[in-house]
């Protein structure tokens, strides 16, 4: 008798599982309606980085007419302009670390660094970036004042 009850319960459970409790037994979202949850996107921008007074000058060496800067740190104010007209999710204060080599005879160099920004237009936002690229000195880099231009 016990075996018969177990078999009946098993068949009842199996029957309920096949029939289901709803009029629609298929999945509520079809595979073609599902989208990826990835947040990868690309937005081109032009940025201006205005450094404040450095908190750590780092190590500077002058071999063969070149300047080597290691771990030059300080506050910065980053301003971005986006070509697509969308919201600014990048501009704000931050901390920058600059490393690189500059040849003073040609006024060119290779720079790399780290930038941590707290954008003003985003609640609880934080950007952590690393960058590297060639640098060129320009007498009109910062709105008519001398500075370095980096194409990253």
**Domain residue spans in the chain?**
45-58+72-97+113-147
At 128 the pLDDT is 92
Residue 45: strand, helix, or coil: strand
Predicted model pTM: 0.57
84-126 confidence digits (pLDDT tens): 888 888 899 999 888 888 888 888 999 999 989 999 878 888 9
Q: How far apart are CA 40 and CA 86, in angstroms?
A: 16
Q: Across the 152 residues of the chain, what is the mean pLDDT of every consecutive 10-residue run?
A: 63 59 57 67 80 72 79 88 86 90 88 91 85 87 76 62
Q: Do 111 and 133 form a contact (C-beta atoms < 8 A)?
A: yes
Encoded tokens for 38? 């990835």
């Amino acid at each position: 008798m016990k075996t018969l009850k177990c078999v009946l319960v098993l068949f009842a459970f199996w029957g309920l599982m096949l029939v289901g409790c709803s009029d629609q037994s298929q999945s509520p979202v079809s595979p073609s309606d599902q989208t990826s949850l990835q947040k990868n996107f690309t937005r081109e921008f032009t940025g201006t980085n205005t450094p404040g007074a450095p908190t750590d000058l780092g190590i500077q060496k002058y071999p063969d007419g070149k300047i080597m800067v290691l771990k030059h740190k300080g506050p910065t104010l980053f301003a971005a302009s986006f070509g697509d007209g969308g919201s600014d999710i990048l501009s704000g204060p931050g901390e920058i670390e600059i490393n690189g080599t500059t040849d003073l005879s040609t006024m060119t160099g290779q720079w790399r660094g780290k930038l941590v920004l707290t954008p003003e237009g985003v609640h609880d936002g934080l950007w952590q970036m690393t960058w590297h690229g060639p640098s060129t000195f320009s007498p009109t880099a910062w709105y008519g004042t001398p500075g370095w231009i980096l194409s990253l």
